[in-house]
Amino acid sequence: MKLPEVHPLRPQDFVSYELWIEKKDPFKVLVGTILSQNSTDKSAFKAFKSLEEKVGVTPQALVGAPLDRIEQALRVSGLYRSKAMRLKQISEILLQSFGGDLQKILVQDMEKARELLISMPGVGEKTADVVLLTCSNAPLFPVDTHIRRIAIRLGLANEKDTYSKISTKLMSILPRDSYLIVHLAMIQHGRTICKAVKPLCDRCPLSNCCEYARAQVGEPKESPATRRHRSSGAGKSKEGSVGN
């Protein structure tokens, strides 16, 4: 059983993906992804709809609107004041340097596009990777808090590993065309089964290859060689696979 089969894709569970399906507008995906920072996707959806109604979700509308009107529109989202400020700043940069068109960044070489996105206020590695993977199908694997936790519990990563190390590790064991679907399935897995507190290991299709689950029943850790062998096939194995 593979994760995408356990968690069939429901776009409405993911603000970035739903906005991409609905609008096909990378700027709106970037705004939705920023709104989902430190917030649930449900709150981010509400904030996005409110922003759309009260201000408009274009660089022009955000630059033209008073900051307090943007803040009011975003009140349902966490950290709404700083998000309002960042959206305004990003919109100014886009208008000044890219004619208000985020697509002009996304069509560049992937590393350059990523660098430009990360240079904007409020855009970190994860937000940049979500936008590039969702809108451009770039070969990137965004790592959020759920994915980080699952990777550590499975034994694919360590507590001290950087974002980049975990992302690279996951990409190395997954089929290239599965990054988006597995990224979304892992988030859903973290929300519903591999929860931060009391993970539901008895319902988990990954329990047969999970270090955390092995430790719970007193089994020793796998040897590095066995782990390497399992990792190399993790995207393809018949049972307990994260891949598609």
Cβ neighbours for 175, distance < 8 A, ≥ 6 positions apart: 235, 236, 243, 244
Among 26, 199, 235, 243, binds ligand SF4 (CB under 6 A): 199
Among 105, 166, 204, 234, binds ligand SF4 (CB under 6 A): 204
Minimal distance, residue 210 CB to ligand SF4, in Å: 3
Query: What b-and-e string marks burial along 100-113, b requiring 16 or more CB atoms within 10 Å of the CB?
Result: bebeebbeeeeeeb
| Closer residue to ligand SF4 in complex, CB, 33/231 | 231
CB 48 within 8 A of CB 83: no
Residue entry with tokens 């274009």? 58
Single-letter code of the amino acid located at 11: P
Q: Confirm or reject binding of residue 182 to ligand SF4 (CB under 6 A).
A: no
CB 6 within 8 A of CB 54: no
Q: Confirm or reject binding of residue 74 to ligand SF4 (CB under 6 A).
A: no
Minimal distance, residue 211 CB to ligand SF4, in Å: 8
Minimal distance, residue 43 CB to ligand SF4, in Å: 25
Q: Confirm or reject binding of residue 201 to ligand SF4 (CB under 6 A).
A: yes
Provide the token pair at 61: 């509308």
| Closer residue to ligand SF4 in complex, CB, 54/191 | 191
| Closer residue to ligand SF4 in complex, CB, 113/157 | 157
Distance CA 85, CA 152 (A): 34
Minimal distance, residue 51 CB to ligand SF4, in Å: 35
User: Interface mask (CB under 6 A) for ligand SF4, residues 121-160, using x and -?
Assistant: -----------------------------x--xx------
| Residue among 238, 219, 204, 156 nearest 7 (CA) | 204
CB 114 within 8 A of CB 132: yes
Minimal distance, residue 216 CB to ligand SF4, in Å: 8
Distance CA 103, CA 13 (A): 25
Minimal distance, residue 238 CB to ligand SF4, in Å: 17
Distance of alpha carbon 37 from the chain centroid: 10
Distance CA 8, CA 169 (A): 24
Among 29, 31, 206, 234, binds ligand SF4 (CB under 6 A): 206
Would you tell me which residues interact with ligand SF4 (CB under 6 A)?
150, 153-154, 193-194, 199-201, 204, 206-207, 210, 212-213
